[in-house]
Amino acid sequence: MAVTIHSFPRVGFAPELARRQWLPMTVDAPLLALAGTQSGMFTTAQAAAYGIGQGPLAAMVKEGSLRHPARGLYAVKELIDEEPEAWHRHLCVGGCLLYPDAVLTGVSAVLAHGLPVWNTALARPNLLRPVDRAVGVRAFRIRPGRGTSEETSLGPAVPVQEALVQHAVDNGMAQGVVSADSALHRELLTMEELSRQVLAVASWPHAARAKSMLSFVDGRSESVGESRSRVALTVAGIEVVPQVTITDERGEFVARVDFVVAGTKIVIEFDGKVKYESGEPDVLWREKKREDQLRRLGYIVVRITWADLERPGAVVARVRAAQAAAA
């Protein structure tokens, strides 16, 4: 495989000719193949090993065939996804290439463990390195530290409980809950392991965020939307029970719902639209029949959408209105 771009001539042409003439330049197939195994990334040292120097690399960056996110690091544009979360993953791989002693931490390690993140800045991966103090470089946030690590598809990462607690400390309680709920639901760790890690950082700045996260996490929630809905309602003083099975008078199964408001017959369903995307009549009909059955049993059904979650207070207002109607 070879990517052909138009750039200044290779070394050996006179500068005058370079200013007058454009010639095709190719990236050697072995380097492209290597980048393909490294999430589209390669280092200056790897390029030099294939005989590609700084001049050709700079020309490719100028013409847009390569990205140059950090000193010594390049990305092949054809091999990368520039959506923020995907680009963060590319940079995680690149950071581990640049710094063989690095370990992913915080939100970067959360992503490396395959967990969702929400409302978190993803411009710079978080790396632990055996350095004296925290430093910031253009593409990475480097913290001092050593410890155990686990291999992931993005590189070495701290264990999942450490990643989750650092994520909460860095970014906030709700952000931590979203990721920790998923980790507990997938049985990647236990509450005991998470609790021990929160206790271990009790003296850190902003450790209260992790402690608060611990009081809200619930592995019964099955999606980001459910976690966010539960946090919003619980903070407002509305106690909800996740993943409740509802049966009819004969004890026959009717539905498994996202939440029931504790002590009431108010059902809350997070409507992420996934189950309706097909638009098939039988899917819509089954959902309508399910909801009709719930109403016949005396339940009030409140549907929460992504749009509700983005409007401060909207989720709580809708549930409080249902409570007033049920009173």
The string of pLDDT tens digits covering residues 183-231 is 999 999 999 999 999 999 999 999 999 999 999 999 999 999 999 999 9
Measured CA to CA, the distance from residue 278 to residue 270 in angstroms comes to 18
Measured CA to CA, the distance from residue 24 to residue 44 in angstroms comes to 21
pLDDT of residue 287: 77
pLDDT of residue 142: 95
Which range (4-18, 124-138, 176-190, 222-236) has the least confidence? 4-18
The pLDDT of 308-315, averaged and rounded, is 94
pLDDT of residue 277: 52
pLDDT in tens, 141-162: 999 998 889 999 999 999 999 9
Confidence of residue 69 (pLDDT cuts 50, 70, 90): very high
pLDDT of residue 147: 80
Confidence of residue 14 (pLDDT cuts 50, 70, 90): very low
The two tokens of residue 188 are 């990647």
pLDDT of residue 25: 58
Measured CA to CA, the distance from residue 221 to residue 57 in angstroms comes to 47
CB-based burial, 18-43: b 16+ in 10 Å, e otherwise: beeeeeebebeeebbebbeebbbbbb
Beta strands in the chain (DSSP E): 3-7, 23-27, 41-43, 66-70, 73-76, 103-104, 126-129, 135-136, 141-144, 150-152, 155-157, 240-247, 253-261, 266-270, 300-304
Query: From the CB of residue 81, how many other CB atoms can be counted at a distance below 10 Å?
Result: 12
The pLDDT of 75-87, averaged and rounded, is 96
**Mean pLDDT of all residues in the chain?**
89
Confidence of residue 327 (pLDDT cuts 50, 70, 90): confident
The two tokens of residue 200 are 């271990």
Q: Which residue has the higher pLDDT, 276 or 82?
A: 82
- Is the pLDDT reported for residue 15 higher than 50? no
Measured CA to CA, the distance from residue 313 to residue 255 in angstroms comes to 28
pLDDT of residue 281: 56
Check if the beta carbon of residue 228 is closer than 8 Å to that of residue 309. yes
Check if the beta carbon of residue 323 is closer than 8 Å to that of residue 268. no
- Give the domains, in start order, of the chain with CATH numbers: 3-79 (no CATH), 99-216 (no CATH), 224-326 (3.40.960.10)
Rg over CA atoms, the chain: 26
pLDDT of residue 279: 52
The pLDDT of 179-183, averaged and rounded, is 98
Check if the beta carbon of residue 198 is closer than 8 Å to that of residue 214. yes
- Is the pLDDT reported for residue 23 higher than 50? no
pLDDT of residue 106: 98
- Give me the percent of the chain exceeding a pLDDT of 70: 87
- Is the pLDDT reported for residue 1 higher than 70? no
Measured CA to CA, the distance from residue 96 to residue 52 in angstroms comes to 21
